[in-house]
A = this chain, B = another copy of it.
């Protein structure tokens, strides 16, 4: 089973409510974890949901509005109190380092680890993180300031070995890695055993796209095409379309339209305006267009 797991730390927008914190999401996979945005009190939410930060080395900040990054300084400071030694990398708009460094130098001068800012371009798409099993790219959103979406794509996984066949054909252990990558096997007698007889297809490579903050924009469709899970902001109901357009946010209906046009498997909406106490109208609205929609909720965990 996949270990691709997303936990919502904040499903609200700028004004926190009793049930919804400012934006932050915690993504775990392949024994690593990543933080997406870091609104105020993100570290409080992490404590609330008993989230370990030991495998967290990369934080991705979508844009420089306070409700997406005011929690950074407190989190960085507390990670020091917890005795962290591993480097921490913050992928964000180039301006963020300039804004945070003075406060970091003052409040976190005795930090037990190093913080590195990794600026990325908000105007183009690029790969901003890559490891053996995962690739993270950014793509431009359409908001009142530069804002970027993130695409988390698992790389193609290894094929599954059929143990009985491998045993039957006496495949040497050292050749297994190649077989897992799709190589055929040639026996001592010179007979070629095609890979398809030794393996089954790999587990599917999963993908997650995060789009917040943004107004409705079909330009993002190529980047999020067919993802397993799309998080798209839906700050307002469609009855508030004028307000959504004025503030460059999206309505629940529009988020669902994007999900449908991009043929994603599942849609999660969030970044809800504080005006909504009951979120079921937003869910219903989105489901009229895209039935497989769920609501983001603080603490919610989704496994892909």
A40: contacting residue among B17, B44, B64, CB under 8 A: B44
Classify chain A's interface size.
Answer: 20 to 34
* Contact between chains at A74 and B18 (CB < 8 Å): no
B-contact 0/1 string along A14-56, CB 8 Å cutoff: 1111100110000000000000000011011001100000000
A106: contacting residue among B15, B48, B64, B81, CB under 8 A: B64
A14: contacting residue among B15, B21, B78, CB under 8 A: B78
A44: contacting residue among B21, B102, B103, B107, CB under 8 A: B21
* Contact between chains at B107 and A103 (CB < 8 Å): no
Binding site secondary structure of chain A:
helix
Contacts of A82 in B (CB 8 A): 15
Give the CA-CA distance A82 to B81 in the complex, in Å: 34
* Contact between chains at B99 and A99 (CB < 8 Å): no
Contacts of A21 in B (CB 8 A): 44
* Contact between chains at A16 and B40 (CB < 8 Å): no
Report A135 CB to chain B, min CB distance, Å. Answer: 31
Give the CA-CA distance A98 to B107 in the complex, in Å: 13
Of the stretches A65-73, A115-123, A264-272, A287-295, the one at the interface is A65-73
